[in-house]
A and B are shown apart, each in its own frame.
Chain A
């Protein structure tokens, strides 16, 4: 014991590290109770997730080959052959997911309790940088998986960058590192993901933490206690003198609880769910692909799918641009006044709107009803139980002419309530479900629709011969509700009128 004490004493005398850290540990922070205190762990939880990323990332980099020709094989090797390889990939994916989720929650909490106000404006601004660099890590990280989706994601990213006025083409070439996605592309994304962006993150975490200590942790907001830059510092100082508690351990213990929850959560998900499945290799000549961003950008994928095409040039650039500008000007124009969410109805309304918007887009993104189902198979004629040759031909053409990629159909018909082993409904969800179209539309209405198409449907007028058209229409007319439940009437008029508007 005496020896250890001696060594520590010598170290402290020669380095002074303890004396440097002690004021940080001892510094007073506002008292928080069980209701307010737990929200303060979000920031440190992001840091824990980031540490998981650094550690698991360094481990993965020892075996990952950042070459376009070999990256996929090295990942396959890491996943299938290496001890703990699959686990580490899972840890890096779920750690990244936790980081994105927590950085969003942290930013939202800071916004809700108005902690970005004077004197913590630069805390917020450095946080904005960290927020967007975290998303950039998510995007570049998904690309390093270097499978089919990664390959096409680079192209989708480049095509979005290309919408920038004047420098669009150069930006797109910058994203791809050339005029194609190839050898140079992956090497660059590896450098961004492993050196450039983490470098920025380290720098800004340093600044962020320094500012947290310098400006002090914000006190839980009270109604009626508006922030006034003239008096706030003195008031905060007095508050700490009166009711402040030492950072260590009175505040830190909650961070420690949060840290272990994050780590156990990530480890648990890595074991029980594992990393995202490695898709087929990034072969540009393999065109049957269904590129999807990872979950944290899926809501944005929905935005791109659902906005009207005419709005796209503005939304693709203006959307993220507006988000960045709003986040930057927020602490500059709203740095004083009430912090309590109960006194900021507009801000809380905005939060509610944002949460509803993103969750809705997220859920929609999971279903992706706008994507045609190119995997759908021809319907087995035996199942359809069609009696005449024309409707049988129609069912065949329904698949061959591409209808089934966008339109779902109940193969057994709604009148058959039996639950067979094979799926009842086949086809995509891009267009309306046609399972009961024979009850909803007349023959003429079906013909008009097929020939003229719509916003999301090609005009089949030139693509079908008259007998083919007749066969498809005859087949669709067999798709009916059980007799007695006809819906003809009002519904038809609506259908036809939208038809003609388009």
Chain B
């Protein structure tokens, strides 16, 4: 019996020497116990093995996939971040400010920060532009002499109100909400603006 079984192994691969597809069924009649009970038993064991294998897979994949994907669905609580004393900012002046992201991980290091362009427009009113160009997200620079924002990647230019002046950007610069709280200017840290 054992000898027969070994003989039914497919031959080693010999490329170019098998014009047809590989044989899929190598079982020759008479090799196996072909009584109905034996066939039923094999059928059951096949289904059992596939079911158990599937279950094992699910048991492994579900927690792992959940671990990997879950953080992406977690809503980050958005917080206000102070960027400086109200008196520090002169009306009409555009300055770079930086603040911590809403919920940085402890090992984020300097990448926990976000930069923005802040301009005091009145007594207690501010406008805060994201640094990210609306084209592909590169950081725009404020040119005080020209009163323009300019992007170093593809030459996008914005007027001082954030509207597109030239180049490829599809829309105005994104803005963050601002407020004055206890003499501090605060910016709502909503993260990197995602153009949609």
> Which residues of A pack against B, CB within 8 Å?
19-20, 23-24, 27-28, 67-70, 151-152, 155-156, 158-160, 162-163, 168-170, 172-174, 176-186, 213-216, 233-234, 236-237, 240, 244, 281-285, 287-291, 304-305, 309, 312, 370-372, 374, 397, 399-402, 405-406, 430, 453-459, 462-463
Contacts and interface: CB of A to CB of B under 8 A. Distances in A.
A23 B147 contact: no
B138 A156 contact: yes
A305 B152 contact: no
B194 A172 contact: yes
A305 B154 contact: yes
Contact of B138 (A291, A397, A457): A291
Contacts of B17: 237, 240
Contacts of A181: 111, 192
Contact of B195 (A162, A178, A309, A399): A162
A179 to B, nearest CB: 3
10 contacts: A27-B14, A155-B192, A234-B19, A285-B114, A374-B141, A400-B146, A402-B143, A406-B155, A453-B166, A463-B147
Contact of B157 (A186, A305, A458): A458
B24 to A, nearest CB: 14
A213 B13 contact: yes
Given A180-B101, A371-B155, A372-B150, A68 B136 contact: no
Interface stretch (B47-55, B102-110, B176-184): B102-110
Nearest to A67: B107
A178 B111 contact: no
Nearest to A163: B195
A436 B77 CA distance: 57
B191 to A, nearest CB: 3
Interface string B162-196: 00011111100000000000000000001110111
Given A182-B104, A213-B15, A304-B136, A455 B166 contact: yes
A244 to B, nearest CB: 7
Interface in B85-103: 96, 98, 101-102
Contacts of A183: 104-109, 111-112
B71 interface: yes
A155 B132 contact: yes
B82 interface: no
Contacts of A237: 16-17, 19
Given A284-B113, A453-B166, A214 B155 contact: no
Contacts, number: 212
Contact of B108 (A69, A156, A213, A216): A69
B76 A179 contact: yes
A69 B137 contact: no
Interface string B1-38: 00000000000111111011000000000000000000
Contacts of A163: 195
B159 interface: yes
A312 B170 contact: yes
- 5 tightest CB-CB pairs across the interface, nearest first? A69-B109, A179-B191, A183-B105, A458-B165, A400-B145
Contacts of B151: 372
Contacts of B109: 67-70, 183
Nearest to B15: A216
A312 B112 CA distance: 31
B155 A456 contact: yes
A343 B153 CA distance: 44
B12 A23 contact: yes
